[in-house]
Amino acid sequence: MTDTLPAVTFNRVMLKISGEALMGDQGFGLHPPTVQRIAREVKSVHDLGVEICMVIGGGNIFRGLQGSAQGMERTTADYMGMLATVMNALAMQSALEELDIHTRVISAITMNEVAEPYIRRRAVRHLEKKRVCIFAAGTGNPYFTTDTAATLRANEMACEAIFKGTKVDGVYDKDPAKFDDAKRYDTVSYDDVLQKRLGVMDASAIALARDNNLPIIVFSLDEPGGFRGILAGEGTYTRVQG
């Protein structure tokens, strides 16, 4: 008797995670066991036949806004942050390929020795061939966050949803780490996220998702099997929608 795979709710998705998610319990940099754990989560979804693209932030290595706040010229600081996202993407590619998942790192800044340049049709073809695509270097422009890059690429790739992996199992009306009476939303509108400043993603990313009616699923990346469970119609999460 063979195990049947669960029916999935989405066929192509964008997974957005922060650079800090790769730090583990460290205060800086990459924690290889954490990178490998997240890679196993991605593999569990890939095994369902879901086409996956990813955007990973760079805050575990360098954050452009912090550099700017310390006196560095903003454009230069943002480009340094983009390079940090390429380092994280290469680490995730290595972890996924150890699990026999064919992976492509696609950079918005040309660096042919380590990553492919971003060409939309080629990236779509990779997804159709069931390769995981990791989009690095943000949009290639300063002043735009990796949240905006993830929403932009998700729209370009015709993804059916953005999965935003965080440390909590959804969107709350206030910080659940500080307030015991924090309430989790099952669903919340794009406009409420903006008006109440719920901190799901930055305003330009939320507005871009709203304008293209792209749902955002906020879930806990620390919950083992959470990513796969939600795609199979289970688990705890918040859906941001129109």
58 annotated as a binding-site residue: yes
147 annotated as a binding-site residue: no
17 annotated as a binding-site residue: yes
> What's the domain count of the chain?
1
121 annotated as a binding-site residue: no
CA-to-CA distance for 87 and 186, rounded, in angstroms?
Answer: 34
Prediction pTM value: 0.93
Do the bridges between strand 187-189 and strand 171-172 make them parallel or antiparallel, or are there none, so unpaired? unpaired
| pLDDT mean values, one per 10 residues, the chain (242 residues) | 64 96 90 96 96 96 79 91 96 98 98 96 98 97 96 98 94 90 94 94 96 96 91 90 92
117 annotated as a binding-site residue: no
What b/e readout covers 66-84, taking b as 16+ CB neighbours within 10 angstroms? ebbeeeeeeeebbbbbbbb
Q: Which domain holds residue 195?
A: 12-241
172 annotated as a binding-site residue: yes
Q: Quote the pLDDT of residue 69.
A: 77
Residue 6 in any domain: the answer is no
- Report the SS3 class of residue 147: helix
Q: Quote the pLDDT of residue 2.
A: 46
**CATH assignment at residue 74:** 3.40.1160.10
Q: Quote the pLDDT of residue 4.
A: 59
Residue 2 in any domain: the answer is no
Residue 1 in any domain: the answer is no
Residue 232 CB neighbour total at 10 angstroms: 16
144 annotated as a binding-site residue: yes
- Torsions phi, psi for 167 (to 5 deg): -90, -10
175 annotated as a binding-site residue: yes
Residue matched to tokens 């080629």: 122
142 annotated as a binding-site residue: yes
Q: Quote the pLDDT of residue 43.
A: 97
Residue 7 in any domain: the answer is no
Instruction: Report which secondary-structure segment, H or E, holds 134.
Output: strand 132-136
